[in-house]
Amino acid sequence: MTKTLAILAAGIGNRYGGLKQMDPFGPSGEFIIDYSVYDAIRAGFSKIVFIIRHDIEEEFKATIAKRIGDRIEISYSYQEIDDLPEGFEINPKRSKPWGTVQAVLTCRNLINEPFAVINADDFYGAESYSVLSKYLDSVSVENTNYCMVGFRLNKTLSQHGTVTRGICKSQSDGTLEGLVETSGIGYAGEQICYEDSDGNKKELNEDDLVSMNMWGFGPSIFELFKKDFAGFLQSHSKDLKEEFVIPTSVNNLIGQGEASIKVLSTSSDWFGVTYPQDKDKVTSRISQLVELGEYPDNLWKS
């Protein structure tokens, strides 16, 4: 079955201080995206759609696209602030895109098959792509039974600051009931905690599954996202910073009975870069995987 990987690479990286999606981490200058594409090809994906911005297009095509262009089909879509449904106008002072739902919608004329969505700056591990690919083999064009890959909370934290995670609340069969967006998560000694709205510390289970934006959809999701995004814009089209993200829309669709999400588990370690200080750890982790033989020291040499 034809399967596409859509990579969210239009982010600005405010906390990181630069374009994480085009920062080298591998021993031969590989970006994290390189490893995502490499693992996706091994898992049976046959097409990549890079979701980028026009202002990074030239640099993007000269680096990652040049390296992989003869290995897999590549397409591009562009996330821009003014790409909105008809009838909506934006605040002229707004400077940032509208979040990951808008980003996925930019692919609506490029994807007609089951597809995955990932972040460009997250390392998900080979097994994650394998389990996601296998699930997508069962997804038809009309199907609204989608999926996400859940990662253990303790494998997704930063030692250099707190993070926000969507904690999965699932039924016994692994069907997602909803994602609880939880901010300020970090270590307090050896315990993982967050602060509630009253400033009280609350403990979390290290084995809780969280969403790291690794999704599997059928093309039917585009109409659902389009409708939900329009509903968001009814209230927020004039806002300067408000964004509409995939977990929020997924919660809406589950609540409305319009879609279901299967939570897939993986033994893969997730790691990524939220803060500049995270770079050394990610570089070291990739080096370890290369030394273990899970990846060649130059992904695209052969």
Residue-wise pLDDT tens digits, 195-221: 887 778 888 998 999 999 999 999 999
Query: What CATH fold (topology level) applies to the domain 4-148+211-291?
Result: Spore Coat Polysaccharide Biosynthesis Protein SpsA; Chain A (3.90.550)
For residue 23, what pLDDT is reported? Answer: 83
Beta strands in the chain (DSSP E): 4-8, 47-52, 73-78, 115-119, 122-123, 145-152, 163-170, 176-188, 191-195, 201-204, 209-217, 260-265, 271-272
Residue-wise pLDDT tens digits, 253-293: 999 999 999 999 998 889 888 777 888 889 999 999 999 99
Domain boundaries, the chain: 4-148+211-291
Beta strands in 95-162 (DSSP E): 115-119, 122-123, 145-152
Beta bridge partners of 115: 4, 217
Taking the CA atoms of 38, 76, 246 and 186 in sequence, report the sign of the dihedral they define. Answer: positive
State the Cα–Cα distance between residues 282 and 260, nearest whole angstrom: 33
* The pTM of the whole model exceeds 0.85: yes
